[in-house]
Amino acid sequence: MGQTITEKIFSEHAGREVKAGEIVRIDIDMIIGNDITTPISIKAFEESGAEKLARPDSFSIVMDHYIPAKDIASANQAKISREFAYKHDLKYYFDEKDMGIEHALLPEKGLVIPGDVIIGADSHTCTHGALGAFSTGMGSTDLAFGMITGGNWFKVPETIKVILKGKPAEHIYGKDIILELIRILGVDGALYKALEFTGDTIPHLAMDDRFSMCNMAIEAGAKSGIIAVDEVTEAYLKERAEVNNGLRSEPKIHRSDADAEYCRVIEIDVAALSPVIAYPFLPSNGKPVEQAVEDDIAIDQVMIGSCTNGRIEDLRIAAEIMKGKRVAKRTRMIVTPATQKILMQAEREGLMDILIEAGAVVSNPTCGACLGGYMGILGDGERCVATTNRNFVGRMGARTSEIYLANSAVAAASAIAGKIVDPRE
């Protein structure tokens, strides 16, 4: 019996052939911390008596959740990570001078590579599987163990094969595909499984779509999401290498064998999809946009951004729809580019002029609004269309507020209309 791409990555790191269900101790290629989770890891690291990082060039801290600091507490929280980074002369430390949301910034920097094993104390670390890596979220003390030893223990996950069929129609993106899959699976239908995306749809999906899909694998309970390297991935890596004077290391390309064993196979006819809207209060509560139009859902706020959909293509989509138009009188719109480079690229292309002239406010790269921290808190009873990844009770503010997850086209068109609309009409 052959191996899945995930089993092959673990086999290479273990130095022997492994199968799903085995528990292995392996080295980690990149550990990712942020300003919220890293202080706990640092405390555990220091209490252990460790004096130096086992693999300092395999550890990165990205300040992205409450940066610039929103209050004294968040400023003191950030200070812990800053002082640790300076003390250890951390090579891959990213603060306000070169900031971005971690799961957009690290691929942009060429720091996460095909074939890597990556962990982060953030559940959306699975984003990096779009590059053909095994990437997953773990706890802050798990990160500390990795900081001290350079590795960790893993249970090799079983894999669900997701076969995507057909070319996406107008305004159908990776966000719609993953929301449809989460609707099928439910929020725990892929518990501790790897979601492997395959099929003839994949070549039609840009890297931005792929990052969105793998990013939200966790919303079905998955341990990881992963897509094998192809020409689209290779072109992205080549561009990153040119911009960054090389990648952090050489890619290690793996693909699943034809006779690999899967615990489940799911097929989705992407060509027949409508834009999917996840109603409150679960990402699995997906409905076709046609139903949302029929339900006549007025909205108070639109948020385009986050580690899920804050990339350049999202801003291009929004600007194309909003050019020459205005955000509805009773609706607010927040745009959060995922990194400073994305923001600058959008400015060069004139996208920011279009969005601001339409009535949007642009924030710095931050997770703030998405997690209900700052820069876009919802009040009692308010409704928001968001390109983010979660719509739990109270996720973006008041417990009585409502979040509708959608792609960037739906979000932009709905901002203009003041209610959820179909961008294809």
Tell me the CB-side half-sphere exposure of residue 387, using CA atoms within 13 A: 37
Asked if residues 157 and 7 have their Cβ atoms less than 8 Å apart, the reply is no
Q: What is the tens place of the pLDDT at every residue in 153-210?
A: 999 999 999 999 999 999 999 999 999 999 999 999 999 999 999 999 999 999 999 9
Tokens standing for 12? 């290479």
The CA distance from 220 to 187, in Å, is 4
Short-list 20, 110, 35, 27, CA closest to 75: 35
Query: What's the pTM?
Result: 0.94
Name the CA radius of gyration of the chain, rounded: 21
Instruction: Find all residues with CB under 8 Å of 348, minimum gap 6, and list them.
Output: none
Query: What pLDDT is attached to residue 92?
Result: 96
Q: Which fold has domain 276-417?
A: Aconitase; domain 3 (3.30.499)
Confidence band for 353, pLDDT divided at 50, 70 and 90: very high
Q: Is the Cβ–Cβ distance between 148 and 50 less than 8 Å?
A: yes
Per DSSP bridges, beta strands 286-288 and 276-278 are: antiparallel
Q: Which CATH class is domain 5-268?
A: alpha beta
1, pLDDT greater than 90: no
174-185 and 207-215 are packed helices; what angle lies between their axes, rounded to 10 degrees? 20
Say whether 276-417 and 5-268 share the same fold: yes
Domain ranges of the chain: 5-268, 276-417
Nearest 10 degrees: Cα torsion 252, 258, 261, 263? 100
Check pLDDT > 90 for residue 245: no
Peptide bond into 145 cis (omega under 30): no
